Structure 1
Amino acid sequence: MTSDNDATLIWLLGECFRNRLRALIQVQPVLDHINFIEREQKDLIINKARTESNQRAADLLIDTIINKPRPDGWLRELVNALEAGGCKHAAQYVDTTDLPPPSVEAENDHFVQLVDLLAPSLITMKTSDVCLMCFAKEILTKEDHDNIMAEIRNNGQRNGARLLLRRIVLQPPGWFSAFLDVLSKSEHHDLFRELTGAETPQELEEMITEDRDTPKVLKDQNELKKEKLVEGPEVMELDSITAEESLDSSMGNSSFNSLLDSSIGSTSDRTDLDLYNADAEQTNEKEEGVDESAVSDGGDEGPAGAGAADTDIILRDYQMEVARPALEGKNIIICLPTGSGKTRVAVYITREHLDARKREGKPGKVVVLVNKVPLVEQHYSTEFGKYLKRQYHVERVSGNSQLKISFPDIVRKNDIIICTAQILENAFSQAKSEEEGGIHLSDFSLVVIDECHHTQKGEVYNHIMIRFLRQKLKNELSRKQQSEPVPLPQILGLTASPGVGGAKNAQKAEEHILKICANLDAFKIMTGRLGDHEKEPYKKIATAEERKEDPFGDMIKGIMDEIHSHADLQPPCNPGTQNYEQWVVQKEQQAAKEKNQKVRVCAEHLRQYNEALHQSNTLRMSDAFSFLRKYHDEELKKKTAPEDEEEAIELTETDRFLFKLFRDKKRKLEDVAKRPEYENKILSTLKQTVLREFTSRQEARGIIFTKTRLSAMALHQWILENKKFEEVGVSASYLIGGGDQSVVKPMTSKEQKDVLEKFRKGEINLLIATTVAEEGLDIKECNFVIRYCLVTNEIAMIQARGRGRAGDSSYTLVEVEGSGVAERESVNEYREQMMSKAIRKIQNLERKEYESKVREFQMQAIMEKKVHAVKKKQKVMLKDDPSKVRFSCRNCSRPVCSGRDIEIMANMHHVNVTDEFKELFIVRENMTLQERLLDYEVNGDVACKACGYKWGSMMLFKGIDCPCLHIKNFVVTYDNKQKTYNKWSELAIRFPPFDFHNHPDLIAGDSDSD
């Protein structure tokens, strides 16, 4: 071959045929027959196939051929290797003398698309029979045959069929007619009809020859439109061809294309064909390795294909193992480590469940429940929507949804609904009270519960499952009475760790896990053996020296001692501790009920000083000082009358004492906060840890978990102000929760989503997060995790550790010497081991013993719920007039209103729009919360006119200003007893719903102002 010809061929391989070749070449079997590539380079290519994908390995093979020296005869050796490796179609593109004509090439692409389109039906074939006959017809190689048969043995006929379909479409043109012949001879007449529109080859011949102008289409168009897979006319003209031409070895140059066009419609423009995607089979072939992204809980790419609308889902062996009982219709809990693909398994089970219901002619509907709003969008975009929306209608609903359609309508119109559990529970409650639009458990055939370890007493998951258990008990009675039971859905729970519930011994740990199994009516709790796929991060503890001198902290403690003396308080523990925090909160609540304003206000200030102590021990002294200064400035501002108010808020003696106390110490605190020699050592330890991660890795991406929102924001600011971090390439952001707090502005779901998306793309490589990122949120790109002075329970430890998804990930606990953080982490590790042993013991219980224990816990749960409901009903006195309840300011004890003035807006907000109430409050700007939500908008704070204490928020609801009250800011008097509450739900009184017709003055007033 001349050098010019050689150059031309290299150009064709690299530029013209690359996309074809990378889709058609199976790297490993081809490399077995190539000798002109060195062993070391072969190993690199094979390793890329194992760790990334076959297509990327094929790219590397092509690049190697193009760029490396090539001996004489390389072309013939490559062609022979492709043919011997079962890639005859690819060989045609390399041996340019055997290139298929463009018309044949286009026609073959149509056949690939057709098989891809009808794959959901074709995978029901008797795979063993079809495989043998395809091998006999030489459209499968011996290696293909062996791999498919192994797949059938390991994972069943359907997975074998998927592999068979991916293999036959890689063959040269002519495979389609051979495949049709195999289907006919193996008595798959329904599949033959699905592909051709004819019952038999003879009928197809008659259809083509006798009705050339308006033949049958290959698939019923109404069905195709229903599946939203194709577009196109119901009939198309067919050029004059003979039956022999339509079924010859290459399908000739017939106008079968026209027929295919009518069936496939716009799919010819698709670029995400599963069957032509060589990556799609990686996870099931041990010889060719696996794509690590397959096991992400919500990975953007997986082995099912690279496109965003892929429908093929391939499970690893351990994933299929844990899924099997669910595929048989049993209720199970899947317990797999974070990052091992629990959600992907749930998607697979969901699809198989709906497919089976469809085949049986039964309705199928799945609800996926999550406990956090961000998880709704995540599960939709990266898992359930991504893999199933081509086959089924998938919708997501949360408190942030902008859908103006009712939830029951969404349930009726979709096959898969992803929502927060509270939304479903609210819908059930509506059905129970016979309100319009309620739904029932029987409307679903499968319930998927994410983070199912929350199915415990008091949690919304458990409320839903108690309904299930009650109906199950009723069904048992119905069967005994020979009446029809109410259908119940299958239950699938997902968790990385059920925990031990604070158990201190093995027996209590087993009891805790058995209760969760009982609450979920689980047939079994399934754990998988991940083997080589298990990724445990390297763990280490970084301990900082205890601060030798702490004048800043000493000054704060001195201030707190003066407040103790002023209020005659004697704390039982040292300031700066969690125990002190609990004590001072109890004192504040008690003082509010006793109308002791002096102690109540002092306790509130002590709580802020205690927080400042905590900050000075974990952050910079300047952060703690800024926190205190901001708190006192805002409190003083609250006590200062706005310019348009006639009367100033009267400062009490205690107010003046507290403000003067801080004002007198303010300058000294500020001066000490600027002295670097007094800073705590733990920030230096954190700095060294972060810098080490970024300098020792080629591409570092990590998360720092911290306790509070304030500390997350302060650490972010500290990183931004330190040039060393910028020098090593740190790009940081914080990630906090979305609930309203008076001190810190919350993050909206959109802001959280934007930060996470930037983290995934690498625009941000360091997150400083509260526990909002520990559980559920998919952050698979992380390769180091730091828990900063933060230890909670064993579940949180496992969740946080699991954020490190990369193979070389690290998990570091940063603590101060003597803080006890490392010791508590050791306790969590012991609890984790105790949990694993408890799960194994439960899995090994005799079936009869397991069912007996589960049944006992279920009956106990039902009875506890029943007793609780009776007590609540007795306590609630729903017939009581709400006017028997009275509210007073938690700060100054001023009477505010009666329960008869309270109305409920949008089923959740408690408002008071009376004229009398308007005279008691002032409205201040709320700098921490300015967020538009559906029909209402938070405009500002509602505060006591007498003392400036916050009572709630001013909301604009459909054009009307409505003061929305937060019960935690009041002392409630009911039945001659005074009490404080954190939530309105804790107060057992039913208030009437807000009705515009009862307030014509508001509407008229609003019109006048306009």
Structure 2
Amino acid sequence: MADVFRLIQCPSCLQRLNKPKELYCKHVICAKCLEVILQNHSKQRPSKCPKCQTPFEEYLIEKYDYLPQSHQITKLLTRLEDIDLCFKCKDFTDIQKCDECKQTFCENCINDHQHKKSTVSSPTILNKSNLNDFTSAEIAIIESVKEILTEKEYIDFIAVTRMYLKNPIKNSKEGYRPSTIAQSTTTISKNFNFKEFLNTEVPYDWMRHEHVTQENILLSPQRAKNLLRLDFVPRAYQLRMARHGLNKTNSVVCLQTGAGKTWVAGIVVKFLYILTKQSSNIGNNNNYLKKSSNSSRFKCVFLVPIKALIEQQCIAFKKIFPDQSDKILKQIDKEAAVRFNQLYDQFDIFFFTYQKFNNYIEANHIKFNMFDLIVIDECHHCYSDHPVMDMMRRYHQLKVQGDYVPQIMGLTASVGTNKGNGFEHLVQLCANLDSLYVCAIENDRELEELRKSTNTPLADTIIPVAIDLTDPYAACLKEEVMTRICNRLNYETSQFGTQMFENYLMTKYQNAVKRNDRMENTGCDYLLKFNRFLQNYNDLPFQQCYKWLEDELHRPVLVNYEQFELECRRYWENFRRFVENHRSDQPYVKNKLKKLTDLILQLHESESKGLILVRTKFHTVALEIFLSEHPDLIARNIRPGRLTGQGSLEDMYMPANIQMASLNQFRSGVKNLLVATDVAQEGLDVAECSYVIRYEFVSNEIGTVQSRGRARALQSKCFLITETQSLNQRRELENRSKEIDMKRALEELKEKGVHEFQKLVVLKQAELIEQIHKNGGVNRQPLEPTTHSEVYSVRCRYCNTYLCQSSALRKQGTTYVCIDPQFIKEKITPMSDDKKFYCSNPSCGKELGPIILFTVSMPGYALTITALKFVDRHGDSHTYKKWSMFPSHVQSL
């Protein structure tokens, strides 16, 4: 054990290590000792390691923070805090405290100890006023903590400081046995396993911690930090907004992006967690401390809208739970539902997406009475048929029946208006969330504190750009290709390149699929792709859009096309020749793209970070390529990256690990310009941006507010680039009007008062519950296999060729494959030089999906549902946009 003690002794001051720093020679020294040594350091007379005398030749004199802390030694110091000084023999060993004089003695000395009044009448070790034996620097440190400690804590602090400073640690000949405080009876001797000792983390003993109360926490931010053992100091307005949560009352916290909504929730969660830990000392008569859930431990679930936020919020909570966070916090992402009961017993706070939690509830893998608190991040989604609203309908149904329901805490940056009156929507949102209280910034003092702690953009400017009137490529495609196909099908030709024309085509296409009209089906397919090209090309570089179109219209070499298919392909080939003949070394760049690059060059400085928000995943790919190849941006060392949400294999998705890698590159400065979809607009913690540009991307009023919240750097700016008099420009102006309405809603809440607002919420709740009963309750569709699941005939959507039975389908995550051997042998045509497979009908050859690898030797053929149709036993055809909409059960691989 002597070797262990020497590890925590500074070789310079010979005292207990304080903020240990690891030198290049691997020896460890106090940070303060190192600072003193380096002050006398010079090239002519370099200082040396006090342990091995290695010269400090390469050490920086003015800064030593770059040296790593020795985490193993730090952990060892934490574990050895329970070793105490024997008052009699001055030995460091396992100690016992005398109940009368409160002094500490080793096992040998306690037997000889006699309790005399003179021994403890005025113990020097507890004399808080006598600091004569400390240096002036030590006294300054001791007095600096006086204001944040109670009198007892301050006395104990002086006693422990004096003990460690005056008495270097000694070794016990008998070996070391942890104290009774550590609750261990294991004797550590010569066979002591040092590595195992360092890797074992002792749970924090909340029973010995000062009793926490709501009143104590609300006294001051520093007091809350100490009592809750947080890794941050909360702000005063955050404590006030946590007040209802601390009181176990449902509430909605409305606070702008970057102002610390997660910390507000964390304060409530940590308080209730500690309270449960300490409740056994209080007794069962205190109603405030009575457990709600069916577990003796505090249980909480934190719900987020998207998968990427699970890890982000779990990491944030590690600052709230610095003690054994890995044994308290658990992300629920890919875990099987049947394993949750095991995880429930191991962990206390769980992080889910809305959808997965709702799925677990539907399948009865979890129940509401398993939790004390549900935190709903981005709670403005709680309306209509959103998954979180489905969950809350079940919640209300249980509550009306008299069953237990957990506490609810909603978090949002903007409550929205839902296309109606802002105040009425706020009332409805609170009714949906069963919350009678809204916590928002209330007065000028809080507003000033918020302004000082959170940066807001200086401006949010709409930049209208004139439409390009002449474009040879678009004109050729419309006149020579799309018009000809439309004339053959008797379709209208007035709205090429618009969303309205795409909606028109989708209706025609679905009717053609049901009628098995091969000609109209083929024509719609070509027109849809050409129309999508025009929509993309309106915003993006021609090269990327044209490459996308070529990939979409790629076909394997076939023996014979049908007549109309040949005609469509002839039009397509004519357009390709036109493109080749008109290409030049200086590609045509549209006005919007020029404005985007000019604005980036104008705003971007050496230390800037910029964010460009776009509508689709394809926009992120095309713009990243365009901007990374732009010579002016290269010259300015502007390094673009991209970020999208997760999705299906065929949808340019970004897996979670790639997503986090992209975010980390942006945060660290490897990339300083991020092109992202709305996944970066809501919730995700991107780096502080100097400018945010929405490029032809307008969602709703909530999106407008939250995109502005991404610009968190000092003197940041926001912009919207859109066409003059476009639909996006009109929608943005409407959103800004609705944003004013949202602010008025909060003002109206203050004017009406809490009691009047609560009456309105209760009335809305009654309407909601009546509607739930009218609809027969919540539909609980089981997610497990059913014996009555209907079998469909799976066919090619384009040519009606039979592919397989739906009973031969299997799924792995969101990927669906067919395991029928005949499907692989006869029904598809995988190309050796391609990563896709196609319908084997010689007159069709349409793409059916990508080829993936389940194992090194086993390819999988992932079916794209938009290439399929499903025929039921009555002969009726059905088409679906997503696999999640397919009604028949599909077994997992």
The two structures have a TM-score, normalised by structure 1, of 0.64
Residue in structure 2 matched with residue 740 of structure 1 by the alignment: 648
The answer (yes or no) to whether the contact 1:395–1:410 under 8 Å persists in 2 is: no
Instruction: Give the equivalent residue in structure 1 for 2:578.
Output: 668
Q: How much does 1:490 deviate?
A: 1.6
State yes or no: 1:424 paired with 2:357. Answer: yes
1:915 positional shift: 5.5
Alignment deviations for residues 372-403 of structure 1 (CA, whole Å, 9 cap, x no partner): 122122222343477445267234334456x9
Shift in CA distance, 517/446, structure 1 to aligned 2, threshold 3 Å = same
Residue aligning to 1:701 = 609
Question: How far apart, in 2, do the equivalents of 1:896 and 1:864 lie?
Answer: 43
Once the two structures are superposed, the pairs formed by residues 122-271 of structure 1 within 5 Å of their partners are 161=149, 173-174=161-162, 219-222=180-183
Superposition map of 1:424-823 within 5 A:
424-431=357-364, 438-475=365-402, 485-486=403-404, 488-503=405-420, 506=421, 509-528=422-441, 529=447, 530-539=450-459, 540-558=461-479, 559-571=481-493, 573-632=494-553, 634=554, 636-637=555-556, 640=557, 648=559, 650-674=560-584, 676=586, 678-694=588-604, 697-740=605-648, 742=650, 745-823=652-730
Contact 2:176 2:187 in 1 (8 A): no
Equivalent residue, structure 1, for 2:314: 380
Q: How many residues align?
A: 739
Kindly indicate whether residue 254 of structure 2 is the aligned counterpart of residue 335 of structure 1: yes
In 2: Cα distance, 1:404 partner to 1:987 partner: 21
Distance change in 2, residues 1:982/1:549 (3 Å): closer
- 1:360 is matched with 279
CA separation in 2, counterparts of 1:582 and 1:917?
33
- For residues 927 and 773 of structure 1, the distance between their equivalents in structure 2, rounded to whole angstroms, comes to 36
Distance 1:843-1:442 versus aligned 2 partners, 3 A rule: farther
Distance 1:870 1:490 in 2: 22
The residue aligned with 2:870 is 972
CA shift at 1:609, angstroms? 1.7
- Offset of residue 785 of structure 1: 0.9
Question: Contact 2:82–2:181 (CA<8 Å) still a contact in 1?
Answer: no
- TM-superposed CA distance for 1:762, in Å, is 0.9
Check the 8 A contact 1:715/1:768 in 2, yes or no: yes
Unaligned segments of structure 2, at least 5 residues: 1-11, 20-30, 42-73, 85-125, 167-171, 203-215, 281-295, 442-446
Q: Could you list the per-position Cα deviations for residues 480-538 of structure 1 after superposition, in whole angstroms to 9, with x for gaps in the alignment?
A: xxxxx53x3222222212211122xx3xx323232322222123121133242342212
- The residue correspondences of 1:396-435 to structure 2 (distance < 5 A) are 396-400=330-334, 406-431=339-364
The CA distance in 1 between the partners of 2:153 and 2:749, in whole Å, is: 41
- Partner of residue 290, structure 2: none
Separation (CA, whole Å) in 2 of partners of 1:756 and 1:907: 24
Superposition map of 1:26-175 within 5 A: 161=149, 173-174=161-162
Aligned-partner SS, 1:790 = coil
Tell whether the 8 Å contact from 1:135 to 1:141 is kept in structure 2 after alignment: no
8 Å contact from structure 2 (residues 221, 236) kept in 1: no
C-alpha distance in structure 2 between counterparts of 1:808 and 1:163, whole Å: 45
Which residue type is aligned with residue 815 of structure 1?
Answer: T
CA contact (8 A) 1:376 1:418 kept: yes
How far does the alpha carbon of each residue in 1:795-822 deviate from its partner, in whole angstroms, 9 at most, with x for none?
Answer: 1222221111112211122223333433
For the structure 1 residues 589 and 458, does the alpha-carbon distance in structure 2 shift closer, same or farther, using more than 3 Å as the test? same
Q: Which amino acid aligns with 2:361?
A: F
Kindly, what percent of the aligned residue pairs are identical? 23
State the AA in 2 paired with 1:450. Answer: D
Q: 3-state DSSP class of the match of 1:406?
A: helix
Aligned partners of 2:649 and 2:815 also within 8 Å? no
CA deviation digits over 1:876-932, x for unaligned, max 9? 9x9995557444432113344555x35554687665544565565215369998xxx
| 3-state SS of 1:823 partner | helix
1:535 maps to amino acid? N
Tell me, what secondary structure is at the counterpart of 2:467?
Answer: coil
AA matched with 1:494: L
The 8 Å contact of residues 314 and 331 in structure 2, kept in 1 or not, is answered as: no
In structure 2, C-alpha distance between the alignment counterparts of 1:713 and 1:920, rounded to whole Å: 35
CA distance in 2, matches of 1:803, 1:494: 17
Aligned to 1:998: none
Distance 1:389 1:375, change over 3 A: farther
TM-score (norm 2): 0.71
* Cα separation, partners in 2 of 1:860 and 1:675, compared to 1, 3 Å: farther
Q: CA deviation at 1:574?
A: 2.0
Q: Distance in 2 between matches of 1:827 and 1:948?
A: 46
The match for 1:921 is 827
Q: Give deviations 1:235-271, integer Å, cap 9, x for gaps.
A: 899xxxxxxxxxxxxxxxxxxxxxxxx9x9859999x
**Contact conserved, 2:839 with 2:845, CA < 8 A, in 1?**
yes
- Consecutive unaligned residues of structure 1, counting only runs of 5 or more, are 1-15, 24-55, 68-105, 117-132, 150-159, 179-210, 226-231, 238-261, 271-283, 291-301, 432-437, 476-484, 642-647, 930-939, 996-1010
**How far did 1:831 drift?**
1.1
Indicate the SS of the match to 2:543: helix
Taking structure 1 as reference, are residues 315 and 135 closer, same or farther at Cα in structure 2, changes over 3 Å only? farther
Do 2:231 and 2:319's aligned partners in 1 also have CA atoms closer than 8 Å? no
1:197 match: none
Deviations along 1:289-315, whole A, 9 cap, x unmatched? 99xxxxxxxxxxx9999xxx9843321
Q: Could you give the per-residue CA deviations for residues 302-332 of structure 1, whole angstroms, max 9, x where no partner exists?
A: 9999xxx984332101111111111111111
Change in 2 beyond 3 A, CA 1:517/1:662: same
SS at match of 2:845: coil
SS in 2 for 1:471: helix
* Greater RCO, CA 8 A, separation 6+: 2
Q: Which has the higher helix share?
A: 1
> Does the CA contact (< 8 Å) of 1:311 and 1:390 recur in 2?
no
- Contact (CA 8 Å) 1:890, 1:971: kept in 2 or not? yes
Find the counterpart in structure 2 of residue 481 from structure 1.
Answer: none
2:372 partner letter = S
Instruction: Tell me how large the CA RMSD over aligned residues is.
Output: 5.0
- Return closer, same or farther for 1:727/1:908 CA change in 2, 3 Å cut-off: closer
Structure 2 residue 304 is matched with structure 1 residue 370: yes
Residue 475 of structure 2 aligns to a residue in which SS?
A: helix
1:360 positional shift: 1.7
- Residue 390 (structure 1) aligned to one of 308, 312, 324: 324
Report the 3-state secondary structure (helix = DSSP H, G, I; strand = E; otherwise coil) of the residue aligned with 1:739.
coil
The answer to which of 545-554 and 748-757 deviates more is 545-554
Write the distance in 2 (CA, Å) between the matches of 1:111 and 1:163.
25
The 3-state SS of whatever aligns with 1:220 is helix
Compared CA separation, residues 346 and 978, structure 1 to 2 (3 A): same
Equivalent AA in structure 1 for residue 257 of structure 2? T
- The 8 Å contact of residues 304 and 313 in structure 1, kept in 2 or not, is answered as no
Q: Cα gap change, 1:537/1:846 in structure 2, threshold over 3 Å: closer, same or farther?
A: closer
Q: Secondary structure at the match of 1:349?
A: helix
Q: Structure 2: how far apart are the matches of 1:21 and 1:420? A: 44
